[in-house]
Amino acid sequence: MLIAIHLLSKERSFLAHKSVKRYVYEIGSELIRSQYNEVYLGNVVLSFNVWNIGEVIGVFDRAHRQKRITREQLDEVIGRFSNEITRLKKISRIRIIALSESILESSWDVLIKHHIYVADALQITSAIEIGCNEFYTGDEKLHKIALSSGLNSIYLG
């Protein structure tokens, strides 16, 4: 799980990747829940790279395939996630980051340099593109790459 926090106007905002921690308990879930609370309090804006939405659903599906959640729970968690995105759009507390040409091209460089999955490279380049000042991840390798890319990365372990 990673989130990247940046300043947007005078508000804090964060980019969430694999927000499954909000819906399915994993290490780091408490921090993610507290960040969502900050969104609803109006203190931060949640930002998603458009690729993240599919990734989050994929993580939910993996939890189902691993029998960590039932089919009914899978349907429920996908519905909750979708409803939350809709609700946050209505109150202007979410920003969906398009995959621009510059983000894509930068991600290819990160992918080749660090030999990581394209989705992870996209997270790093998206965080850089939107000017994040904090980047949270539960992936130690990604944490190190984020640090080497100039992001203030915090490892959730």
Report the chain's mean pLDDT, rounded to a whole number.
Answer: 80
Q: What is the pLDDT of residue 25?
A: 57
For residue 75, give the amino acid letter: D
Which two structure tokens, joined as six digits, stand for 65? 């395939």
Query: What pTM, to 2 d.p., does this model score?
Result: 0.71
Domain that holds residue 66: 2-155
Give 75-101 pLDDT, tens digit per residue.
998 998 899 889 999 999 888 888 999
pLDDT at position 135, please? 81
pLDDT tens digits along 31-79: 777 877 888 888 877 777 888 788 888 888 988 999 988 999 999 989 9
Contact 88, 45 (CB under 8 A): no
Q: Into how many domains does the chain fold?
A: 1
**CATH number assigned to the domain comprising residue 116:** 3.40.50.1010
